[in-house]
Structure 1
Amino acid sequence: MGNHIDKTVQTSRAPKVPGFSLRQALYFVTAAESGTLSEAALRLHVSQSGLSLAINELERALKVQLCIRRKAHGITLTSAGKEALHQMRALLRQVEELESAVSGSGDHLSGRLSVGCYVTLAPTVLPPLLQGFSELHPMLTVDFTEGTQDALQRKLLDGELDLAVLYDMDVLPEMERVALFSMRPHVLLPADHRLAGEPKVALRDLVAEPMVLLDAPPSSLHTLLLCKTAGVTPLVRHRTTNFEMARALVGRGLGYAILIQRPPNDRTYEGLRVVHKEIAELPEAAVSVLLCWPQQVAQTRRAAEFVRYCLEDRRGT
């Protein structure tokens, strides 16, 4: 009877050998991210037929169709393929972490770290962080992606990004976050505006003038909320998703703008001068800048070190 129990325990604990290889997982992820087999084959330095065969073998092992392949139309992931892509990205990251941990590289980080940043923050926030972190870890490749908050958060949840720098606006509850610093919204005016010499500007004094609205979610909603809080309804004349375009339109005298990011240069690309003014009705308004990552995803050592570096950089240590 004892022998029977021992055999039962041994059988129940026997690990299951995966039916697919890491190579097949890598090929599938690369193909899904590239959009076409030809592009993926170039990235992987393999033949297109070999790549296609590997994906076929992966589908057979998983007993499910992962993608639809059509000539001249690239590949389209099935619902099962989208879930597999998410899981296999995580798997490949874990394998990379394992290799780094057992390779004897010590404190040297290697591999790839993918960082996203809200589009208007990127030009001033990312360069110093990327430069400083890369100098500490020269063997690590840091990629970055700019985008709107909703797009970046989708990429985080899909495993396309490890971390993202976002405003504290409409951040999903699934996100872990740390605050880096805060910024205050301001009014941007052309240098020859009638209120350019005032220390502060009331939004009610601009209500009859056209507004240039930065329409990159969630900036537009936040701007309109600020106006509502101040008790005014802005006259939106122009909308743009480009931060410098908004500044250029203001510089041309085509309206005023409410922005958060404040470049040190007070001139537009055309050399026209603009001025930044505090909002009189909202003296305490401030928005935090966050570093975010998905709660359900185990953070890699690379990501954890980047978080630590950003927090130390915030403290000036």
Structure 2
Amino acid sequence: MDLKRLRYFTELASIGNFTLAASRLGIAQPALSMAMQKLEQEVGLKLINRTERRMTITADGEVLLRYARQVLQLMSDAERELQAQKGVEQGVIRLGVSAMLASYYLPEHLLGFCKRYPGVRITLFEAGTATLERMVLEGELDLALLRTDRPHEQIRSRPLIEEQIVACVPAGHPLAAQPSVSLAEVTDQPLVLFREGYFLREALSEYSRSARKPLDIRFETNLIELLKRLVREGVGISTCLSMILESESDLCALPFDPPIALPIGIGWKRNHYLSRAAEALVNYLQTPSKG
């Protein structure tokens, strides 16, 4: 059975949409449809129900999906273990991280790691916390920077940092004179926010739902410099990690009252093989002095 078709099938089942799955896989939609037709011909069973608006996996497809995930996971584990036999000097690490941590926390640490282990190749995947957790569980990532305040039973993690989520407002904004700000006050304002699925958006979205108070979102972007520019220009206020505003004289970081802490750790799938290179990165990130 063709492993590539199995991988396509599991991705399609996970996303539930041919167009989005093809985009994620980096192939054309007709190529994905053809691969699924050939897979159905190969097994002699109908695996996918296709309608105009959505697709679903058939009962036979669910059986294949269960085994396909096991086969692909075993192949992934075999590849990682074989890579690990080469030692830390050679290896590949698939690392997931949010955009803000990728820009403001990781660069210095990764630079130091790459200098110490120049033969290790790191492939970085940027996504929201929920997506990163799913990718770890499905074996698409070796490691990811994840929240540790909501542990998952299938994910092991080690703590790295604890940041504060703060409100980001222009220096001349009426709220800037306050020592802190509430979720109610922030949600009264026009907003520039990260997309749904990111922890920087989550607190406001949860408050909006519980208070039945719609958010006035003027702009959504995961581009941090653009977000800061929009806040400076008065398009709306935002939320961010306190670390990114340390050198911004024209932007104010207002802590929330009560505070919104964000503990971050490095996580991987429990009971799955961790390569020597991945272990080295975990240990390196936890080392206080990384000279």
TM-score under structure 1 length normalisation: 0.63
Distance change in 2, residues 1:201/1:100 (3 Å): closer
Corresponding letter in the other structure for 1:293: W
The equivalent position to 2:231 in structure 1, one of 239, 243, 250, is 250
Distance apart, 1:115 and its partner CA: 0.4
Counterpart-to-counterpart distance in 1, 2:168 and 2:241: 10
Distance change in 2, residues 1:114/1:278 (3 Å): same
Distance apart, 1:163 and its partner CA: 0.6
Contact 1:212/1:250, CA 8 A, preserved across alignment: yes
SS in 1 for 2:260: coil
Counterpart-to-counterpart distance in 2, 1:265 and 1:202: 21
The equivalent position to 2:106 in structure 1, one of 95, 119, 126, is 126
Q: Kindly provide the CA deviation profile for residues 41-67 of structure 1, in whole angstroms up to 9, marking residues without a partner as x.
A: xxxxxxxxxxx9xx99xx98xx788x9
The equivalent position to 2:180 in structure 1, one of 198, 201, 204, is 201
Distance change in 2, residues 1:221/1:287 (3 Å): same
Q: Which residue number in structure 1 is paired with residue 75 of structure 2?
A: 91
Counterpart-to-counterpart distance in 1, 2:212 and 2:135: 36
Distance apart, 1:82 and its partner CA: 7.0
Contact 1:156/1:162, CA 8 A, preserved across alignment: yes
- Higher RCO (C-alpha 8 Å, min separation 6): 2
Corresponding letter in the other structure for 1:119: A
Distance apart, 1:145 and its partner CA: 0.2
SS in 2 for 1:131: helix
Q: Kindly provide the CA deviation profile for residues 166-202 of structure 1, in whole angstroms up to 9, marking residues without a partner as x.
A: 2346553321111101011212111221343x36133
Distance apart, 1:249 and its partner CA: 2.5
Counterpart-to-counterpart distance in 2, 1:120 and 1:83: 36
TM-score under structure 2 length normalisation: 0.68
The equivalent position to 1:112 in structure 2, one of 78, 92, 114, is 92
Runs of at least 5 residues in structure 1 that lack an aligned partner in the other structure? 1-19, 41-51, 69-76, 268-272
Structure number, greater radius of gyration = 1
Distance apart, 1:266 and its partner CA: 1.8
Counterpart-to-counterpart distance in 1, 2:113 and 2:6: 27
Q: Which residue number in structure 2 is paired with residue 276 of structure 1?
A: 253
SS in 2 for 1:121: helix
Distance apart, 1:316 and its partner CA: 2.8
Distance apart, 1:161 and its partner CA: 0.6
Contact 1:207/1:232, CA 8 A, preserved across alignment: no
Contact 1:176/1:292, CA 8 A, preserved across alignment: yes
Residue 223 in structure 1 maps to residue 204 in structure 2: yes
Describe how 1:17-28 pairs up with structure 2 within 5 A. none
Contact 2:157/2:268, CA 8 A, preserved across alignment: yes
Distance apart, 1:300 and its partner CA: 2.1
Residue 182 in structure 1 maps to residue 182 in structure 2: no
Runs of at least 5 residues in structure 2 that lack an aligned partner in the other structure? 12-20, 28-34, 49-56
Distance apart, 1:135 and its partner CA: 1.7
Q: Which residue number in structure 2 is paired with residue 299 of structure 1?
A: 274
Corresponding letter in the other structure for 1:236: D
Contact 1:191/1:274, CA 8 A, preserved across alignment: yes
Counterpart-to-counterpart distance in 2, 1:96 and 1:168: 25
Q: Kindly provide the CA deviation profile for residues 87-130 of structure 1, in whole angstroms up to 9, marking residues without a partner as x.
A: 334434434524643xxx5x543131100012322212232232
Which piece of structure 1 moves more, 240-249 or 155-164?
Answer: 240-249
Counterpart-to-counterpart distance in 1, 2:172 and 2:192: 17
The equivalent position to 1:163 in structure 2, one of 122, 131, 143, is 143
Corresponding letter in the other structure for 1:274: L
Contact 1:215/1:239, CA 8 A, preserved across alignment: no
Counterpart-to-counterpart distance in 1, 2:44 and 2:5: 13
- The RMSD of aligned alpha carbons is 4.1
Q: Kindly provide the CA deviation profile for residues 215-261 of structure 1, in whole angstroms up to 9, marking residues without a partner as x.
A: 331432223457899x9968533251425243233211122223225
Counterpart-to-counterpart distance in 1, 2:82 and 2:170: 55
Q: Which residue number in structure 1 is paired with residue 243 of structure 2?
A: 262
Contact 2:94/2:122, CA 8 A, preserved across alignment: yes
Counterpart-to-counterpart distance in 2, 1:254 and 1:112: 42
Q: Which residue number in structure 1 is paired with residue 172 of structure 2?
A: 192
Counterpart-to-counterpart distance in 1, 2:204 and 2:188: 17
Q: Kindly provide the CA deviation profile for residues 246-292 of structure 1, in whole angstroms up to 9, marking residues without a partner as x.
A: 3233211122223225324427xxxxx3222223x22x431101211
